[in-house]
């Protein structure tokens, strides 16, 4: 690759140091940038990027970047937007989306470009192996059992891997790079500028979350929420943060306000009008819908109670609920006992991972076919 990287190339991999330097050198005053017409346009593009990450289900081969400079700036602003909103789930979605997008573009990249990106990530695609330490660092975030080190061939401190697997690990590395930088420290005045889009983004996130959650299933509640309900049922009063967390959780997974109030009816200090007011408020009657706190915040308030092995793989009580629920569904469908989807290590969207893996494999196969066709054509001419 040349000394000065091509702008189109940088736009395809906005997480690279060079890409961020490009933006940093040109946008010295973000406040001023956002006050310009161009800045507002890019801010909208950044919001579109965040919205795309909310609805993201998998990467389509043939991913387009668009006008490179706008793409680079919109990536930067998407990070600002999710940092201002501060929802961990939103940040995670953006990281997954951006990593998958960059990986899809990587698969379409020429040999020289692929070498450059993979060397920046410290992954040698040609070697078909990876040092154990690096492997564990990346594979510990992969949910399928097949990624566990005990299930891999290891030779002289290196794990043997197929090219497709190396590409999956590369995507995970990109996700980790992006995630480590988030949330950004953004000052309050700048966050004010994104306030108009905040509500809409949260609304879409909420909608998506509700779609994901479907029917309420109490057996899949995380231990912390069960502990809060048990406390009410056994006649103990909840601290304010506990009421907030439980109400926001129950609202997000689809309980109606009346059903939530019914749960609080068991509390010794139950006051129907006060409870209805609080529930309505958290559920968004006054314009702002709240989502439950992350595990880190729950810990701060000493509300992380009864942590179990599933908790190790989640950062949010909602994520716990969703994963347990999916696991239970798979178990019912297959009519058997222990299944990957219902185990802590595989407590995730194995179906989605398989789909993603298939897409990567399909894209690689398509490239191979194209290469072969090209060779045939060359030989014939
Ligand atoms: S780790 Fe998270 S989901 Fe598990 S009990 Fe603690 S707060 Fe709840």
pLDDT tens column, 201-257: 988 887 777 776 777 788 899 999 999 999 988 888 888 999 999 999 998 888 888
For ligand 1, the distance from its centroid to the CA atom of residue 221, given in whole angstroms, is 10
Ligand 1 neighbourhood includes 292 CB (under 6 angstroms): no
Residue 312: CB atoms within 10 Å = 10
As given in the structure block, the two tokens for residue 299 are 């810990």
Q: How far does the centroid of ligand 1 lie from the alpha carbon of residue 297, in Å?
A: 10
370 and 295 inside one domain:
no
The total number of structural domains in the chain stands at: 4
Please identify, by atom number, the ligand 1 atom nearest to the C-alpha of residue 315. Answer: 2
Task: Report the pLDDT value the prediction gives residue 360, as an integer from 0 to 100.
Answer: 45
- 96 shares its domain with 132: no
- If you measure from the C-alpha of residue 2 to the centroid of ligand 1, how many angstroms do you get, rounded to a whole number? 49
Give the closest residue (by CA) to ligand 1 atom 4: 311
Q: Are 22 and 75 in contact (CB under 8 A)?
A: no
What residues have CB less than 8 Å from 156, skipping those under 6 apart?
Answer: none
Predicted TM-score (pTM) of the model is 0.62
Give the model's pLDDT for residue 334. Answer: 66
Q: Say whether both 305 and 360 belong to one domain.
A: no
Which of 297, 300, 314, when mutated, tests ligand 1's pocket best, judged by the most ligand atoms within 8 Å of its CB?
314
Show the DSSP H helices in 36-140 as ranges: 37-54, 68-85, 88-108, 111-120, 132-139
Q: What's 149's DSSP letter? A: G
Read off the pLDDT band of 9 (50, 70, 90): very high
Flag whether pLDDT at 284 surpasses 80: no
Residue 330 pLDDT > 80, yes or no?
A: no
The answer to whether position 335 is within a domain reads: no
Within a domain: 345: no
- For residue 196, give every residue at least 6 positions away whose Cβ sits within 8 Å of its Cβ, in sequence order, or none: none
Contact 321, 220 (CB under 8 A): yes
Mean of pLDDT over the chain: 82
340 ligand 1 Cβ < 6 A: no
Q: CA–CA separation, 206 vs 323, rounded Å?
A: 17
Together in a domain, 239 and 285? yes
For residue 339, being part of any structural domain is answered with no
Distant-in-sequence, close-in-space partners of 246: CB < 8 Å, separation ≥ 6: 225, 228, 229, 238, 263, 292
- DSSP structural state of residue 305: -
Inform me whether the pLDDT recorded for 289 exceeds 70. Answer: no
Q: Does residue 161 lie in a domain region?
A: yes
129 Cα–ligand 1 center, Å: 36
Question: Does residue 183 line the site of ligand 1, with CB under 6 A?
Answer: no
pLDDT of residue 113: 92
88, 220, 223, 231, best to mutate for ligand 1 pocket (most atoms within 8 Å of CB): 223
In a domain, 286, yes or no: yes
Q: Give the chain's end-to-end CA distance (angstroms, integer).
A: 31
Reported confidence tier of residue 311, pLDDT bands at 50, 70, 90:
very high
The pLDDT tens digits of the residues spanning 65-106 come to 788 999 999 999 999 999 999 887 788 889 999 999 999 999
* Ligand 1 pocket, residue 224 CB under 6 Å: yes
The reply to whether 199 falls in a domain is no
Q: Which atom of ligand 1 is nearest to the CA of 310?
A: 4
- Which domain does 142 fall in, by range? 121-182
Query: Tokens 């793989």 identify what position?
Result: 313
**15 and 99, same domain (yes or no):** yes
From CA 132, how far away is CA 143, in angstroms rounded? 18
* Residue 131, strand partner residues: 158
Residue from 317, 323, 344 to probe ligand 1 pocket by mutation (most atoms less than 8 Å from CB): 317
* Helix and strand numbers, DSSP H then E, in the chain: 17, 3
Q: Is residue 37 part of a domain?
A: yes
Question: What ranges in the chain are assigned the alpha helix state H?
Answer: 7-12, 17-26, 30-35, 37-54, 68-85, 88-108, 111-120, 132-139, 163-180, 188-213, 223-233, 240-252, 257-264, 272-282, 295-300, 317-334, 350-380
Task: Tokens 């990986």: give the residue.
Answer: 103
């Amino acid at each position: 690759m040349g000394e000065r990287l091509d702008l189109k190339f940088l736009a395809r991999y906005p997480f690279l140091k060079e890409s961020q330097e490009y933006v940093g050198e040109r946008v010295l005053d973000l406040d001023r940038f956002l006050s310009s017409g161009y800045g507002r346009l890019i801010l909208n593009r950044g919001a579109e990027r965040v919205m795309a990450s909310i609805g993201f289900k998998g990467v389509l081969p043939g991913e387009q970047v668009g006008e490179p400079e706008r793409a680079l700036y919109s990536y930067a602003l998407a990070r600002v937007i999710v940092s201002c909103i501060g929802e961990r789930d939103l940040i995670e979605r953006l990281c997954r989306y951006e990593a998958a997008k960059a990986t899809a573009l990587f698969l379409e990249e020429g040999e020289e470009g692929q070498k450059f990106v993979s060397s920046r990530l410290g992954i040698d695609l040609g070697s078909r192996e990876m040092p154990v330490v690096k492997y564990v660092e990346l594979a510990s975030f992969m949910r399928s059992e097949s990624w566990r080190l005990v299930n891999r061939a290891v030779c002289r401190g290196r794990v043997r891997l197929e090219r497709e697997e190396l590409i999956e690990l590369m995507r995970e590395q990109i996700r980790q790079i992006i995630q480590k930088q988030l949330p950004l420290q953004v000052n309050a005045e700048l966050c004010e500028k994104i306030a108009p889009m905040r509500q809409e983004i949260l609304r879409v996130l909420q909608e998506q979350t509700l779609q994901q959650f479907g029917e309420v299933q109490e057996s899949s509640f995380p231990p912390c929420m069960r502990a809060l309900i048990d406390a009410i049922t056994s006649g103990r009063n909840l601290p304010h943060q506990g009421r907030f967390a439980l109400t926001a959780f129950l609202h997000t997974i689809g309980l109606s306000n009346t059903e939530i109030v019914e749960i609080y009816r068991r509390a010794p200090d139950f006051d129907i009008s006060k409870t209805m007011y609080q529930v309505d408020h958290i559920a968004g009657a006054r314009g702002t819908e709240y989502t439950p706190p992350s595990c880190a915040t729950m810990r701060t308030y000493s509300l992380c109670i009864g942590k179990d092995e599933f908790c190790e793989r989640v950062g949010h009580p909602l994520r716990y609920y969703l994963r347990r629920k999916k696991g239970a569904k798979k178990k019912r469908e297959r009519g058997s006992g222990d299944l990957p989807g219902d185990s802590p290590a595989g407590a995730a969207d194995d179906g989605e991972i398989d789909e993603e893996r298939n897409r990567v494999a399909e894209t690689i196969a398509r490239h191979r076919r194209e290469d072969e066709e090209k060779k045939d054509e060359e030989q014939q001419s």
